[in-house]
Amino acid sequence: MKCLRFVMFIVLLSLSAAFAQSDAHESSAPVKPGMQSDAQKSFDKLKTLAGSWEGILTTVPPEPDVNGKVAQVSLRVTSSGNAITHEATSPARPDDPLTVFYVDGDRLLLTHYCDAGNRPRMVAKPSPDGKTVEFEFLDLSGGNDYGHMHHAVFTMIDDNHHTEEWTYMMAGDKPVRAHFDLSRKK
């Protein structure tokens, strides 16, 4: 009986070692570029925006407090490369709404921590040219008394220039669009 237990122990130990070697081999194998999901490709493209940005903010319809004002945007890759934070400020609106981008399975998501007190989530859809990442409304946590952020589009023009389009849905489903024309701060 002791001999049988010993043999079973050796077999189980051998199988564990084989699986561990197989897992180590798979995780250390380089990912082929063709194997990346569209979500990961879009996320990697957004990572290139890390840094400080500045530009003019325009709104439709015109919002007098912010239209034509200079805005600052900061993007930072964080959490060992697994998340990107986005903060936007302007002298007219000192609140710093925070947006976090992350890959969840085969989807690129964002959660916008809005100064309206809610947290809309949006899901990305890739563009054929790879220079645009568009986010569609997915769901909302928190109240909707003051409206919510509903749509976002990031367009990479070159290493030092990108635009952002944000659509805020006011109560009664009236959209306000904000366009940021941003240049990288040196």
Phi-psi region of 28 (alpha: psi -120 to 50; beta: other; left: phi over 0): alpha
Q: Which fold has domain 37-184?
A: Lipocalin (2.40.128)
- How many Cβ atoms are within 10 Å of 114's Cβ, its own excluded? 20
- What Cα–Cα distance (Å) separates residue 128 from each residue in 14, 143, 178? 48, 35, 24
Q: Give, for 17, the enclosing helix (H) or strand (E).
A: helix 2-28
End-to-end CA distance of the chain: 75
pLDDT (tens digit, 9 = 90+) per residue, 39-59?
Answer: 999 999 999 999 999 999 999
pLDDT (tens digit, 9 = 90+) per residue, 62-121?
Answer: 988 889 999 999 999 999 999 999 999 887 666 789 999 999 999 999 999 998 899 999
Q: Where are the domains of the chain?
A: 2-29, 37-184
pLDDT (tens digit, 9 = 90+) per residue, 134-156?
Answer: 999 999 999 999 999 999 999 99
Selection from 182, 156, 183, 179 nearest residue 168 by Cα: 179
